[in-house]
Amino acid sequence: MSFSRRTLLSATAGGLVATAATAHAQNLQPQRGPGYGGADNGPRDLMRDGQNPDILNPPKTDHGTLPNLKFSFSDSHVRQGTGGWTRQVTARELPASTDIAGVNMRLNAGGIRELHWHKEVEWSYMINGNARITAIDQDGNNFVEDVAAGDLWYFPSGIPHSIQGLGPDGCEFLLIFDDPHFDEDSTFLISDWFKHVPPDVLAKNFGVSADLFAKLPDPDDLYIFKAPVPGPVAGDKLRGPKAVSQTFKHQMTAQPPLRTKSGTVRITDSKNFPVSTHIAAALVEVEPGAMRELHWHNNAGEWQYYLQGQGRMGVFASSGQARTFDFRAGDVGVVPFAMGHYIENTGNETLRFLEVFKSSFYADLSLNQWMALTPPELLQDHLKLDQRVLDALQKDKHAIVPA
Ligand code: MN
Ligand code: MN
């Protein structure tokens, strides 16, 4: 055995010992307590185990075979263009999502998401930076606006639109579509259509000569492509005689939040963003140690995007089934329709996430409020709770606890 090979082997053995010790120190073994589980000495991914403590050591209350309710954008294929990148989490990645698909996109300064349309409605939350969005409607009304971090946009089905990153550093945003089987590679692109119409038909359509269409771009070079940063929005607003009757833009973070002692909630649906008839959403902030209370939704399944921090969600599925998932910024979570759940901040910074629903309105039911508004004798016939629990019940809804 050569010196270098011996050195390598001893280093590897030392590494394994250190790894096992680290795993033990952080309770990264699947042993939730004395008499349960055992060490994992086999092949393993310690970083992922560390990120999923409630998968490795589920709470004793978890039970049964709930499907996976989590997917990270970090595990999604990244499609790169000359103007930025995009990746998607759809029913192909997360089959438990039966209402919604999501896309996370970056446009560099000047980068354009090509003029296009699609069958699905498009709802978007601007995560950081600035963009210019354009559209028209079926009556020839015009729409051009700049959007900033915390703003939303909504394009109804089939409405043609574009998105362009602005200075100084472009933007990143989340796109939501009201079909879990949406595919960002299956949108109607302006360059793709031009490429698939005979030049004489183009000539007839536009009333010009066919040779003007001799040099059309390859659609593969567009989709997300590089362009100069446009001038001020005022110059772009002069194209049409009138604006769309219902704006496609909404400033979500400018809304005054519902506030408790330990967090905030901002709700946007068709009541305050009238054009958004197919998507409702809540932007939720939960302080360290606090929790989005036990609740459920009676209108639709929930699709979540984690913007900041880390947390865990427990989901109750009836039939004695329950499962707990850990989340961090960049993850997607799903709560199937009507299942009970809570989301606890398990980190040291504010947990921020979006709850998105395929619905014209936001709705939730609070376990606490339900119990507070039920005759106490009836409640006690069921649960036989200590009087102090009954005294603590709240007739008002408090989305984030402690309230
Ligand atoms: Mn689109
Ligand atoms: Mn919820």
Residue 325 lies in a domain: yes
Kindly name the residue from 145, 172, 355, 377 that is annotated as catalytic: 355
What is the domain extent for residue 391?
256-401
Tell me which residue of 146, 125, 117, 128 sits closest to 229, measured CA to CA: 146
Residue 144 lies in a domain: yes
Residue 67 lies in a domain: no
165 CA distance to ligand 1 middle (Å): 14
- Which pair of structure tokens corresponds to residue 211? 């040779």
Q: How many separate domains does the chain show?
A: 3
Q: Which ligand is nearest to the CA of 356?
A: 2
- For residue 64, give every residue at least 6 positions away whose Cβ sits within 8 Å of its Cβ, in sequence order, or none: 317, 319, 320, 321, 322, 323
108 and 244 in a single domain? The answer is yes
CB burial of 119-145 (b: ≥16 within 10 Å; e: otherwise) equals ebbbbbbbbebbbbbbbbbeeeebbbb
Q: Would you mind telling me the total number of residues written for the chain in this entry?
A: 403
Q: pLDDT tens, position by position, for the chain (403 residues)?
A: 334 444 333 444 444 444 545 555 566 899 988 889 999 998 999 999 999 999 999 999 999 999 999 999 999 999 999 999 999 999 999 999 999 999 999 999 999 999 999 999 999 999 999 999 999 999 999 999 999 999 999 999 999 999 999 999 999 999 999 999 998 888 999 999 999 999 999 999 999 999 999 999 998 889 999 999 999 998 777 666 788 889 999 999 999 999 999 999 999 999 999 999 999 999 999 999 999 999 999 999 999 999 999 999 999 999 999 999 999 999 999 999 999 999 999 999 999 999 999 999 999 999 999 999 999 999 999 999 999 999 999 999 999 999 9
8 and 92 in a single domain? The answer is no
Domain boundary among 224, 250, 276: 250
Q: Which ligand is nearest to the CA of 184?
A: 1
Q: Which ligand is nearest to the CA of 303?
A: 2
Residue 64 lies in a domain: no
The answer to whether residue 355 is catalytic is: yes
Rounded CA-CA distance 223/106 in Å is 12
104 CA distance to ligand 1 middle (Å): 12
Type of residue found at 182? F
Residue 63 lies in a domain: no
305 and 394 in a single domain? The answer is yes
114 and 152 in a single domain? The answer is yes
Domain boundary among 250, 271, 293: 250
Q: Which ligand is nearest to the CA of 176?
A: 1
277 and 210 in a single domain? The answer is no
Neighbours of ion ligand 1 (CB under 5 A): 122
Residue 69 lies in a domain: no
Type of residue found at 164? Q
Q: Which ligand is nearest to the CA of 118?
A: 1
CATH number at residue 176: 2.60.120.10
3-state secondary structure of 391: helix
Residue 310 lies in a domain: yes
233 CA distance to ligand 1 middle (Å): 20
192 and 327 in a single domain? The answer is no
Rounded CA-CA distance 169/106 in Å is 10
345 CA distance to ligand 2 middle (Å): 14
Residue 371 lies in a domain: yes
Work out the number of other CB atoms within 10 angstroms of the CB of residue 159.
19
E runs forming strands in 13-139 = 70-72, 79-81, 84-89, 101-107, 112-117, 122-136
98 CA distance to ligand 2 middle (Å): 16
pLDDT of residue 34: 85
Domain boundary among 221, 250, 279: 250
Tell me which residue of 384, 379, 358 sits closest to 97, measured CA to CA: 358
Rounded CA-CA distance 320/47 in Å is 31
216 and 104 in a single domain? The answer is yes
CA-angle at 291, arms to 290 and 293, nearest 5°: 145
48 and 80 in a single domain? The answer is no
107 CA distance to ligand 1 middle (Å): 13
pLDDT of residue 4: 41
pLDDT of residue 234: 83
pLDDT of residue 7: 39
234 and 219 in a single domain? The answer is yes
352 CA distance to ligand 1 middle (Å): 25
52 and 96 in a single domain? The answer is no
The pTM for the full model equals 0.91
91 and 200 in a single domain? The answer is yes
265 CA distance to ligand 1 middle (Å): 27
295 and 209 in a single domain? The answer is no
